[in-house]
């Protein structure tokens, strides 16, 4: 069974600063995807970044990057130059690569941006 754990229910960061959201996971799969989703107050779920577990290079999307530590089963999200629009719930998720299955989500981290 897969599990995803986000141990920080809430975090705050000053505008323009950098913040890191933690995520650990457990899976018996050899190949899988990891995702970070953003859920702003509109409640829409937005895919922020995706990492294939077989890739050693950390994924990056503009101000968003991940620190993927496969042996430690850790997948943290770093947001650089935080902006007010980054305020949202952030969900970490995992998905097996080679078979049909469901995405497993963590409980989320609420990120506050302080002006």
Partner 1 sequence: NAGVMQNPRHLVRRRGQEARLRCSPMKGHSHVYWYRQLPEEGLKFMVYLQKENIIDESGMPKERFSAEFPKEGPSILRIQQVVRGDSAAYFCASSPDGQGTFFGQGTRLTVV
Residues forming contacts to partner 1 in the complex (CB under 8 A) are 33, 35, 37, 42-47, 50, 91, 95-97, 100-108
Q: Considering beta carbons, is residue 64 or 105 the nearer one to partner 1?
A: 105
Residue 16 Cβ, how far from partner 1 at the closest point, in Å? 28
Which residues does residue 44 pair with via DSSP β-bridges, in sequence order? none
- 34: Cα separation from own chain's centroid: 8
Q: Considering beta carbons, is residue 41 or 115 the nearer one to partner 1?
A: 41
Q: Considering beta carbons, is residue 81 or 101 the nearer one to partner 1?
A: 101
Measured CA to CA, the distance from residue 115 to residue 102 in angstroms comes to 38
Which residues does residue 96 pair with via DSSP β-bridges, in sequence order? 32
Residue 37 Cβ, how far from partner 1 at the closest point, in Å? 8
Reference 29, options 53, 5, 51; nearest CA is 53
Residue 95 Cβ, how far from partner 1 at the closest point, in Å? 5
> Can you give the length of the chain in residues?
115
């Amino acid at each position: 069974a897969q599990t995803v754990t986000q141990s920080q229910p809430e975090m705050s960061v000053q505008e323009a600063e950098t913040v890191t959201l933690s995520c650990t996971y457990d899976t018996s799969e050899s190949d899988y995807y990891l995702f970070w989703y953003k859920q702003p107050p509109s409640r829409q779920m937005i895919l922020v970044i995706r990492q294939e577990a077989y890739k050693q290079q950390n994924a990056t999307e503009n101000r968003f990057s991940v620190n993927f530590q496969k042996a430690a089963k850790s997948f943290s999200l770093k947001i650089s130059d935080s902006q007010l629009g980054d305020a949202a719930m952030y969900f970490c998720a995992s998905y097996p690569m080679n078979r049909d299955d469901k995405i497993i989500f963590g409980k989320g981290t609420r990120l506050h941006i302080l002006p």
